[in-house]
Amino acid sequence: MRLLPCLAAALLGGLLPLAAQADGSARLDTAAVARLTRYLDGVVARGEAAGIVAEVRQHGEVIYRHATGMADREAGRPMAPRSLFRIASQTKAITTAAALTLVEEGRLALGDPISRYLPAFAGARVAERYDSAGAMRVRTVPVARPITVRDLMTHTAGMSYGRESWLEAEYAARGLGPEAGAGWYFAHKSTDICTAVAPLAELPLAAQPGSRFVYGYGTDVLGCLIETITGQGLAEVVQQRITGPLGMDDTRFCLDARQARALTVVYALQGGTLSRAPDGPLGQGDYVDGPCRAFAGGAGLISTAPDYATFLEMIRRGGTLDGHRILSPATVRLMTHDVLGETYRADGIAGFGLGFEVWHRPARAGRFGAPGQFGWGGAYHTNYWVDPTHELVAVVMTQLLPANGSTLHDRYRTLVYQMLEAPTHDGPSPE
């Protein structure tokens, strides 16, 4: 990956004013570049975030990189381009990619029942609500069909985070759902991930497999499945198959004392006030001093904006980057195309692939960018998307939990597109 020579200022956290390149690879509106930087700096100045790192790549080039504010306000540590962030659900795409490498090797298939590898799930049951004399009651019924690997990747396994009012008590009693922070948090667990998610085979599902999109523990179970098939820990599998070959050296599940010095502090934005988040599952987490045993495929990774952009660039290019083939083009096409249709969103504006949300009609939602863009985000208020038509990868990272009232993501997206000229090749129409 070439870093354009005029990025030097951005690497120091300053403004990155790029004009048209001599080879035509990146043509930007320099006034819009400056406007984006002023906006990000303003978010920090107004106390809406302590610090932010943003990175944009187009045609494989880094065209914008800006670090602003503080990684730790109390310690006076400034944000840097390679500051570390808890990426939470951005982990899901990486875990899904790791599982798909096993599919490509014939060791796993998307249609396989997960009970083939995790037999306890053969007896899975579903919580069904019904009216009894004017009162809502809950009973459990068997699954209508087995949970498949595809279900785990598309959040159609019926596995929620156990936060439904009729499920939360049972989940909490088994160390899941509300007990685990907001449900997705595993860094404090002293067991391996398969032991941590084992109760899910006995707890009732929130929906029948395949019937609807239910966001939850599916990718964590997928991580357990990867460990079961390979006989390796998920951290090792991800390093060997994804992050190692791509040179994503700052992406990992837990940190040592040296790496911890680059970890960004989590802040809470509530009522327009920014404050340091508490320790524990709903704040700083146990990513440094925790057990480091339950590698959560759904929300466990630490990464940087440049590292995650590298992963996305590999996906954008069809599975290969800098001579390292991670996935086949056919696999990437399946990942980045809608496989759920109306099961995900009835209006057809967006769908869901294998690990990514996919937008068919972004303009109808007032969303900038071309049809076919895909992306997702994380609970600590990190966000990303890829726009194949514009050959664009964009990442923005901060650490806010909660992030009540933040408009960072939408405005960042808007300002990124103002920098760009029209695509250099024909793409889908806006509708």
pLDDT digits (tens, 9 = 90+) for 95-106: 999 999 999 999
Contact criterion met (CB below 8 Å) for 315 and 336: yes
10, pLDDT greater than 70: no
Contact criterion met (CB below 8 Å) for 223 and 234: yes
> CA 255, 257, 262, 263 torsion: positive or negative?
positive
Contact criterion met (CB below 8 Å) for 83 and 304: yes
26, pLDDT greater than 90: no
* pLDDT the model gives residue 430: 52
Output the six-digit token pair for 230. 């390979």
* pLDDT the model gives residue 178: 83
Contact criterion met (CB below 8 Å) for 112 and 332: no
Taken in order of first residue, the domains within the chain and their CATH numbers are 5-93+237-419 (3.40.710.10), 108-229 (no CATH)
Cα 369 to Cα 414: distance, rounded to the nearest angstrom = 9
Closest CA relative to residue 82, chosen from 261, 262, 257: 262
* pLDDT the model gives residue 27: 78
pLDDT-based confidence at 31, cuts 50/70/90? very high
- For residue 160, list its beta bridge partners: none
Closest CA relative to residue 170, chosen from 122, 126, 120, 204: 204
Output the six-digit token pair for 115. 């009970």
pLDDT tens-digit profile of 48-76? 999 999 999 999 999 999 999 999 999 99
Output the six-digit token pair for 412. 């960042």
| Mean pLDDT calculated for residue range 156-165 | 96
Output the six-digit token pair for 38. 């002023």
179, pLDDT greater than 80: no
Cα 313 to Cα 2: distance, rounded to the nearest angstrom = 12
* pLDDT the model gives residue 410: 97
Contact criterion met (CB below 8 Å) for 277 and 267: yes
Cα 262 to Cα 85: distance, rounded to the nearest angstrom = 9
Output 4 or 111, whichever has higher pLDDT. 111
346, pLDDT greater than 90: yes
Cα 116 to Cα 69: distance, rounded to the nearest angstrom = 49
pLDDT-based confidence at 423, cuts 50/70/90? low
Task: Give, in order, the Cα–Cα distances in Å from 122 to each of 6, 11, 146, 149.
Answer: 57, 52, 7, 13
Output the six-digit token pair for 171. 């989940």
* pLDDT the model gives residue 421: 79
Contact criterion met (CB below 8 Å) for 308 and 247: no
Our CA angle for 361, 368, 334, nearest 5°, is: 50
Average pLDDT of the residues of the chain:
92
* DSSP secondary structure string for all residues of 314-326: HHHTTSEETTEE-
| Mean pLDDT calculated for residue range 236-263 | 96
Output the six-digit token pair for 364. 């109808």
Cα 430 to Cα 368: distance, rounded to the nearest angstrom = 9
Contact criterion met (CB below 8 Å) for 372 and 399: no
pLDDT-based confidence at 21, cuts 50/70/90? very low
| Mean pLDDT calculated for residue range 417-427 | 75
Closest CA relative to residue 25, chosen from 8, 3, 55: 3
Output the six-digit token pair for 276. 């340091």
130, pLDDT greater than 50: yes
19, pLDDT greater than 80: no
Burial 191-210 (b: 16+ CB within 10 A, else e): ebbbebbbbbbebbbbbbbb
15, pLDDT greater than 70: no
Output 13 or 274, whichever has higher pLDDT. 274
pLDDT-based confidence at 132, cuts 50/70/90? confident
- For residue 132, list its beta bridge partners: 135
* pLDDT the model gives residue 13: 41
351, pLDDT greater than 60: yes
